[in-house]
Structure 1
Amino acid sequence: MQGNIADCWLIAPMMAIAKHRKLLEDIIPENQYSLEFGIFPVRLLVDHIWTIVIVDGHFPILPNETPYFARYYGELWPNIIEKAVAKVIGGYHKLAGGIPADAFRSLTGASSISYMLGPDTDHGRLWDRIQFSLSSGFLITLSTNQTDIESYENFGLAHSHVYSLIETSIADDRQLFLIGTTIWRRWNGKCSELVVYPEDVTKNWEKSKKKMANQRLFWMEIDDFCKWFLLFTVCRYREGWDELRINGCHGEKSLYLHVSHRCQITIEISLSDPKMWEYHDVGFIFVIDDIGKLALCFSVEFHRAQKVKIYKNY
């Protein structure tokens, strides 16, 4: 749950990551932290380099002894990650405002793609794209618009806010999305009355986990999904993939790869902005299916004012 600072851009990606235990163990390496001494190593991508950020177990709290910032019903890892990110960027106060692609990049090392939504969005293509993304293990967040504040609040949503997409379902021919919120407000429109998880799924859960699910998760139909969300961001994290990072140099003009068997490769070129904690992806190449065959290539323009990535296919 988000605390007393506007860092939904970080908390929502963490909410999407929560069910990926292997990824969490990569971020906070297992057996390398000390509960006795309150020392926690956190693995973050800083300036394109995997870096271990050490934080202690001292966290700001409210008078009722609940965390001032991130909190998650008896679990400490959100506080640890949030503190590590705050340490990297210069303090908790600098966590206010951001984009989920930056959080995904720093936590997973993977790039993200944002897709615009609207009344004219093709439901079939949208459903297929999200189904493919979730089945591939990708992580997804949703962002609301900055305008029409009153309408958002009337339906239990927040404007200029980031949510997480947990899963999808089809019930009575309705295409539904299970969405996680990082704040106390919850969607109260169509399908909000649906049970988050059936009893056979939650019967062995602790009460705190059931309470969290009922308060922080809700179902939404695809029509409302396209109406209320401005865009969704897909982090193409791939569990089990090998990674090679190469620092930029001015001498070599080409990078040669010898591919000995059929596989999928992603090649990415990124530039960091020293003035802001964000990355600018300047190009991608995906090699898929056939060895040596260029299947997809597109360039990226980053519009800082709107903080939206525009993709051009070639």
Structure 2
Amino acid sequence: METIKNLQFEDPDFPATNTSLFSSYSTPIAKFSEKITWLRPQEISKSAKLFPDKVQDGQIKQGLLGDCWFLCACEALQKNRLLLEKVIPPGQDLWMQSGCLKCRFWKFGQWVEVIIDNRLPCIGRRLWLSSCRSEEVFWLPLLEKAYAKFHGCYEKLWAGQVAEALVDVTGGLVDRWTLKNYRKNNEKNNHVSFSEKSTFELMKDLIDKSFISCSVHGSTKGSNEHAEFHAFIVVDMKNISGLKDDVVSLLRIRNLWDRRCWNGSWQEGGDGWNKIDVAVAAQLQSLAEEGEFWVEEQEFLNEFDEVTVGYPINPEGYLLSLLTGKSLCHTLQISGGWVKGQSAGGCRNNSSFCSNPKFWLRILDPGEIVITILQKKYDSGNKNGKTLRTRDTPIHCLDNKRFITDVLQQNCYHAIGLHVWKVDKKRFNLQKTVAKPPTIATECHMYDREAKLHCDLAPGYYLVIPSTFMKDEDGEFLLRAFSTSKISLSAVKASHPLAKFGENAEGEWEIIHFTDSWMEGKSAGGSRNFPTYSTNPHLSFSVFSSTGTGNVRITLCQEYFDGQFLPIGFHVYQVHNTNNINQVSCQLKEPVVNCVPHRYTQEVTQLCSLTEGNYVIIPSTYLPDSEAQFTVTVEIKIDRKPFRCQENLGRIINEVSYISVMQR
């Protein structure tokens, strides 16, 4: 940042020009492009301040930009001071004098700092986009500007998901619950299904602990045309005694346009208020501030399409389970990627599924765990003349709003899924494992940024495989795990590319890694010329089916130490008694594979043909008591049979992601 005395900061990377406002001039705000001026807070208000003295003064008002999805997520910062200070770090008292503000957003596993100047787009001398209820308070429009810079420009904030923005400002987890299934059941049975009733009860438990948003994706009886594809904030929930000795469950909902847009039975003067005492009704209506309205439980389930709930965060910064309230205090994350032709195997319908990235998850104690796979957006441009598929959007948007096309091109995701198997790591066989039903898995592959599993798992080792629905789709992802008990998470290491094996590289290969060492007086027995040979490490593996010539590749690699290599080699023996492999007197047998003579090199490799059975590898140095660490990689060609499964792809509109926008 360049500082000049008596001059305020002007951000060269996000200038006060139309380049910071528009990417393609394809949204309705483009018609204002000639009317925009850029003003600093002190030019807009004589008593400008960053944060309000009263909570009500800082409440969120949506402007002309269709970013209700982001502004709803900002409400979570209003409820949690620790989160607010993480996104807008304290100690910026000179923000107005310097003309500079630092904000932070969570991106792919880490917090990213975004620095902006405090010039804001206005029409006349008033803020054009979002604002706080008091025009003296500027935390929200400045944060909106930082988020616009984070995405590239303001126009790219038109339409999006509350869930994504909520993760960006908290770094946490989000659940999305659809209410569509309830309406289908209600049309037939006129009663609330167990799952939806549970959802509503969960909301009651979480209203004081967490952020809750609800969305309308299409026209309903309660909403007018201005509330379609719009996101709201659930402010409060109450159970009220009705006049007929029944209990009326009510939700207070806030519309960020700061005006009431609901035409349901509990609108002001609606029939719903006749169900409760007049005095109670008057009190409840007085609680509803500008832009807020009440909805009854049944009406809510009928007329809203989706609920978004953020996992609560305790004062220590740990996420709390939505289901039990327990602290998910053990957290791990690891990045990975799908690479076309190598590790982009697609879903389980594809024979290449095993080539997907694989991870070991170890659960040390019984506990509750959340496992998520979060993907990066991929290039939305056309490749090879083909139009890439984007995140699914309600068909109403696509038919009626041409400007949504540009939004879609900014938000391209693969359909992703997550499968987890409990395994016996000592007897692990990849082919047999993935052929069985997983211990837990996503119901189908979804065009979401993040897919999530929430479950209880017993102690042990688990194989975790994230995948795209289609094979050969390049992409990067972040695997995250949050648990109430101790866990470990690591990648299943891949060996050197199979491509260098020539013709033997074709097909699928199971890869097994061993790490061990030769230690003087213990496990450094030397070659077969010495009586101590049997003290060398014994590494066992199995071949479950004969797959022809060149079906096993074994590589011994020693650690490079002080520029010196020991002469190394190995032998492979077939073992019929697997109970006492380490006690086998290999000197009395002839090996089935000889990797000799011992060579002064870092790595020795042998391609061999082995029949079905159990085997042991004995790596050795030429002389006894020669110490070194080493790894052995065993690659076994797989004769894989087709899986008896049918992976599902989430359907457009009904099962996938929705975009919340504003229609005015």
TM-score by length of 1: 0.77
Q: How does 1:75-224 map to 2 (within 5 A)?
A: 75-117=137-179, 118-119=182-183, 120=186, 121-122=192-193, 124-134=197-207, 137-147=209-219, 152-153=223-224, 158-172=227-241, 173-186=247-260, 187-193=262-268, 194=281, 214-224=289-299
2:303 maps to which of 218, 228, 237: 228
Matches of 2:257 and 2:171, distance apart in 1: 26
Offset of residue 263 of structure 1: 6.2
Matches of 1:299 and 1:253, distance apart in 2: 10
Q: Which amino acid aligns with 2:217?
A: N
1:21 maps to which of 67, 73, 81: 81
**Residue pair 1:302, 1:309 contacting (<8 A) in 2 also:** no
Q: Which amino acid aligns with 2:128?
A: Y
Offset of residue 170 of structure 1: 0.9
Matches of 1:304 and 1:83, distance apart in 2: 34
**Residue pair 2:223, 2:263 contacting (<8 A) in 1 also:** no
Instruction: Provide Cα deviations, 1:167-190, integer angstroms capped at 9, x if missing partner.
Output: 211112210111111114313533
**Residue pair 1:169, 1:175 contacting (<8 A) in 2 also:** yes
Q: Which amino acid aligns with 1:246?
A: I
* Cα 1:101/1:307, change in 2 over 3 Å: farther
* Secondary structure of the corresponding residue to residue 229 of structure 2: coil
**Residue pair 1:13, 1:103 contacting (<8 A) in 2 also:** yes
* Secondary structure of the corresponding residue to residue 103 of structure 1: helix
* Cα 1:252/1:33, change in 2 over 3 Å: farther
Matches of 2:230 and 2:102, distance apart in 1: 29
Which has the higher mean CA deviation after the structures are superposed, 52-61 or 28-37? Answer: 28-37
1:273 aligns with 2:333: no
Instruction: Provide Cα deviations, 1:124-145, integer angstroms capped at 9, x if missing partner.
Output: 323212123335x332211113
Total equivalences in the alignment = 288
Q: Which amino acid aligns with 1:147?
A: S
Offset of residue 100 of structure 1: 0.9
**Residue pair 2:240, 2:249 contacting (<8 A) in 1 also:** yes
**Residue pair 1:7, 1:97 contacting (<8 A) in 2 also:** yes
**Residue pair 2:215, 2:231 contacting (<8 A) in 1 also:** yes
1:56 aligns with 2:117: yes
Matches of 2:282 and 2:171, distance apart in 1: 35
Instruction: Provide Cα deviations, 1:72-116, integer angstroms capped at 9, x if missing partner.
Output: 123322212211111111111111111111111211122322222
Q: Which amino acid aligns with 2:178?
A: M
Matches of 2:649 and 2:112, distance apart in 1: 25
Offset of residue 8 of structure 1: 1.0
* Cα 1:20/1:262, change in 2 over 3 Å: farther
Offset of residue 252 of structure 1: 8.0
* Cα 1:57/1:102, change in 2 over 3 Å: same
* Cα 1:285/1:127, change in 2 over 3 Å: closer
Instruction: Provide Cα deviations, 1:203-234, integer angstroms capped at 9, x if missing partner.
Output: xxxxxxxxxx6112222111221222111122
* Secondary structure of the corresponding residue to residue 11 of structure 1: helix
Relative CO higher for 1 or 2, CA cutoff 8 Å, sep ≥ 6?
A: 1
* Secondary structure of the corresponding residue to residue 335 of structure 2: coil
List gaps (5 residues or longer) in structure 1.
203-212
> Which has the higher Rg, Structure 1 or Structure 2?
2
Offset of residue 60 of structure 1: 0.9
* Secondary structure of the corresponding residue to residue 233 of structure 2: strand
Offset of residue 246 of structure 1: 2.6
CA RMSD of aligned residues (A): 3.5
TM-score by length of 2: 0.39
Per the alignment, residue 210 of structure 1 pairs with none
1:246 aligns with 2:337: no
Offset of residue 4 of structure 1: 0.7
Matches of 1:195 and 1:248, distance apart in 2: 56
Matches of 1:196 and 1:166, distance apart in 2: 16
**Residue pair 1:33, 1:40 contacting (<8 A) in 2 also:** no
Matches of 2:76 and 2:210, distance apart in 1: 9
Per the alignment, residue 207 of structure 1 pairs with none
Instruction: Provide Cα deviations, 1:277-303, integer angstroms capped at 9, x if missing partner.
Output: 576224425447x76699xxx999885
